[in-house]
Amino acid sequence: MIEKLSHGEASVSQFAERFGVSLPTIHKHLRVLERAGLIRHEKRGRVRHIRLAQVPARKCDNQQRSSSIDRVKDWLAQFEASWDEHLQRLKLQVESDL
């Protein structure tokens, strides 16, 4: 999602179409990203637009940026270990079926 938003702003409905999932599902993911400070939204009329959050340089030094990135890495690491285990089991299953 972050990678897609790096290409520019989009309405939530346009964004949901890119992933082929329902609007409620997209809203859940976007809330998490917004609470983490990674994205921002703006309502224009009845349409909600989302974009990557821009942190002003004077308010965010390198140490703060590094801390934010470290939090994201830690969060991703939780899933990496789980997926490594799942993929290893899948590999063993496929190899045993050959």
Determine the Cα–Cα distance for residues 87 and 89; give it in Å rounded to an integer.
Answer: 5
Q: Which two tokens stand for residue 88?
A: 């290893």
Q: Which CATH number fits domain 1-54: 3.20.20.140, 3.40.50.720, 1.25.60.10, 1.10.10.10?
A: 1.10.10.10
Question: 73 pLDDT exceeds 70?
Answer: yes
Q: What distances in angstroms separate CA 87 from CA 76, 78, 79, 92, 97, one per listed residue?
A: 16, 15, 12, 9, 15
pLDDT attached to residue 1: 85
Tell me the whole-structure pTM to 2 decimals.
0.54
* pLDDT tens digits, 27-71: 999 998 888 888 899 999 999 999 988 755 555 555 655 666 777
Determine the Cα–Cα distance for residues 35 and 43; give it in Å rounded to an integer.
Answer: 17
Question: 77 pLDDT exceeds 70?
Answer: yes
Give me the residue spans of the domains in the chain: 1-54, 55-98
Distance between start and end Cα atoms, the chain:
36
Question: 15 pLDDT exceeds 60?
Answer: yes
